[in-house]
Amino acid sequence: MFETFQPSAIRAHALTADAVSAFLPMRSRLPRWRDISRYVSPLALVALWQVSCSVGLVSTRLVASPAQIAVTAWSLLRDGTLEANLGISLLRAALGLSIALLAGVGLALVSGLSRMGEDIVDAPLQIMRTLPVLALVPLFILWFGIGETPKVLLVALGATFPVYLNLHKGIRTVDPKLLEMARTLGLSHGQTVRDVILPAALPDLLVGVRYAVGVAWLMLVVAEQINAESGIGHMMMDAEDFLRTDIILVGLMVYGLLGLLSDNLVRGLEAWLLVWRPLSPRRGDGA
Amino acid sequence: MNTFLSPQQIALEPVAGPAAAAVMVSGLTRRFASGPAVLDGLDLHIAPGEFVALLGRSGSGKSTLLRTLSGLDPVTAGSVRRPDNMAVVFQESRLLPWRRVWQNVVLGQKKDEASRARAEAVLVEVGLGHRTDAWPLTLSGGEAQRAALARALVREPDFLMLDEPFAALDALSRLQMQRLVAALWQRHRCAVLLVTHDVDEAILLADRAVVLEAGRIRTDIAIPLDRPRRHTDPRFERFRQTLLDALGVHDD
Ligand SMILES: Nc1ncnc2c1ncn2[C@@H]1O[C@H](COP(=O)(O)OP(=O)(O)OP(=O)(O)O)[C@@H](O)[C@H]1O
Ligand SMILES: [Mg+2]
């Protein structure tokens, strides 16, 4: 696409980092060098970590070595401990997130689409939003005991706010010009909501969902470490008693991977639901 | 099939003027808050199939008049009668980015198997037959305005309002769009009210040019030139001078 390099062909909007690097002659001779180079520094750090542990610079009682972590992860996988705990954690997160989505979307629709709904719903939610949800943990344990309920509800509560706030904002900030257009075309109220307001608010909803997923993992970590008999967090707390830093670090990595995966999942959802949004301005022109 | 938009009783008074008028505005007054009246007892008649260009300085109330005619703004004093079946094209295309071009064209119309064919036919008419399935955000400015025009035409309106529809386009696209509008109007023959800042555009397209000043139509001139019209026509220059004078632009 950029074989013939003509400076005059550079368009202002095309000057993103990637587009610029596409002009570099190195690109054709060393393809994907940039992609590889991004991993050099993290890999070097891991190597340094391993060496420090091997030569005894860092006590393995405080931090396990990368090799040890790999071995432990493998054995946890083989005896099924990791899968079982991961399954439980995933289930709690999924359940909590589903409740959050239902509640957040429902409340945002009520307060976004009607003045009265906003008066009733918005003020209490704005007040509750300022409370640190984690401070509710003792209360939740008192109310719901130590079973699954308080864990799932903690996730649900924390994840509801980002969904509600973003969707509410999305509904309230629909371009008034589009609403006027809907009126001149004679769209009914229902049609306007369905064809104009909700699609316009969808990008904001998806931003909210991405935040919600992040919050859900955060809530889960805390919930599982306080009072649980299963789950990744429980596995880590158990390991603490036996000074097994390798298991703790495996748990940490699993949380990291889960966060990364779920974020990519939502991004994928975004790309699929928002196909109408060109990736770069005016991509469809064949520029 | 005509709609009266007016406050309480005033509407019931018989409105003076030609009975055949498609649009009849009488004594329309509009003020915002406690400011001066933007429209001040304005009268305007448009005959069926007549093409009227509305000129006026920035802030003279052209858009306000159009918004009132299209029902976006309320009629607080005076009366307005216009066909139910009307369409508006604004300066921005106002297409829904999440609906394909053809879906935007038939938005708000009854959905049936013929919807798509109908949309495609109009899109071909405005020269956009090759972009029926495109997403609006991938259209160029000129293409988007064509799509907006198609969305108005598919309704086969009796009255079409255009609020500076080509103002944001480059000179070349604007010329093309003016030709297109002239051709479409010849074919559809609906009453048109075109708001423009471009005196040449008004003379090129309209049967009548009216100039809005201090809340009223102060200048109302017929442009009885044959079509298609050319800028090089010596009479063109005379109309241009008259309109520029009415707009308060003098070249001394
Ligand atoms: N919603 C509003 N509230 C207060 N004032 C308004 C409002 N809408 C318009 N006005 C005022 O009414 C006057 C007429 O505005 P209008 O948009 O009709 O002008 P216009 O002739 O279309 O101008 P332009 O050529 O720049 O588009 C302006 O002085 C404007 O400030
Ligand atoms: Mg205007």
A287: closest CA of chain B, how far (Å): 11
Cα atoms in the 13 Å half-sphere on the side-chain side of A258: 23
Q: How far apart are CA A96 and CA A159, in angstroms?
A: 8
- Whether residues B96 and A178 touch (CB distance < 8 A) is answered with yes
Is A65 inside any structural domain? no
What's the pLDDT tens digit per position in B220-245?
A: 999 999 888 888 888 999 999 999 99
DSSP-based three-state secondary structure for A185: coil
Strands B37-46 and B159-163: unpaired
- Whether residues A185 and B108 touch (CB distance < 8 A) is answered with yes
Chain B, 69-88: which have a CB under 8 Å from a chain A CB?
70-72, 87-88
Helices marked H in A24-147 — which ranges?
A: 26-29, 33-54, 66-78, 81-113, 115-129, 137-144
Q: How far apart are CA A113 and CA A108, in angstroms?
A: 8
What residues of A are in contact with residue B151 (Cβ under 8 Å)? 185
What's the pLDDT tens digit per position in A202-259?
A: 999 999 999 999 999 999 988 888 877 899 999 999 998 888 999 999 999 999 999 9
Closest-CA residue, ligand 1 atom 3, reads B32
- Whether residues A187 and B96 touch (CB distance < 8 A) is answered with no
CATH code linked to domain B19-85+158-165+189-251: 3.40.50.300
Is A30 inside any structural domain? no
pTM: 0.83
* Among B98, B108, B138, beta carbon nearest to A278: B138
Read off the tokens for B206: 């309209």
User: The domain containing residue A149 runs over which residues?
Assistant: 72-284
Q: How far apart are the first and last CA of chain A?
A: 10
Closest-CA residue, ligand 1 atom 22, reads B63
Nearest to B115 by CA among B93, B127, B99: B99
Task: Give percent of chain A above pLDDT 90.
Answer: 63
Q: How far apart are CA A203 and CA A208, in angstroms?
A: 9
What's the pLDDT tens digit per position in B132-163?
A: 999 999 999 999 999 999 999 999 999 999 99
What's the pLDDT tens digit per position in A1-46?
A: 333 333 333 333 333 444 444 455 444 455 577 778 878 888 999 9
- Whether residues A277 and B134 touch (CB distance < 8 A) is answered with no
Domains: count for chain A: 1
| Residues on chain A bordering chain B, Cβ-to-Cβ distance under 8 angstroms | 177-178, 180-187, 191, 195-196, 199-200, 202, 275-278, 282-285
* Among A184, A195, A285, beta carbon nearest to B138: A285
Phi, psi of B213 (to 5 degrees): -150, 130
Phi, psi of B79 (to 5 degrees): -140, 155
Q: How far apart are CA B59 and CA B244, in angstroms?
A: 17
- Whether residues A184 and B71 touch (CB distance < 8 A) is answered with yes
* CATH number, position A191: 1.10.3720.10
What residues of B are in contact with residue A191 (Cβ under 8 Å)? 108
Which range is least confidently modeled, A4-8, A266-270, B21-25, B208-212?
Answer: A4-8
Interval between CA B25 and ligand 1 midpoint (Å): 19
Is the bond leading into B14 cis (omega within 30 degrees of zero)? no
User: From the candidates A13, A276, A283, which should be mutated to test the interface with B, based on the most B CB atoms within 10 A?
Assistant: A276
Tell me the CA distances in angstroms from A213 to A83, A98, A206, A270, one per residue in order: 21, 10, 11, 14
**R_g (Cα) of chain A, nearest Å:** 25
Q: How far apart are CA B211 and CA B53, in angstroms?
A: 8
Q: How far apart are CA B41 and CA A166, in angstroms?
A: 46
Q: How far apart are CA A256 and CA A166, in angstroms?
A: 25
Strands B208-213 and B159-163: unpaired
Q: What percent of the residues of chain B are helix, what percent strand, and what percent coil, each to the nearest 5?
A: 35, 25, 40
B186: closest CA of chain A, how far (Å): 24
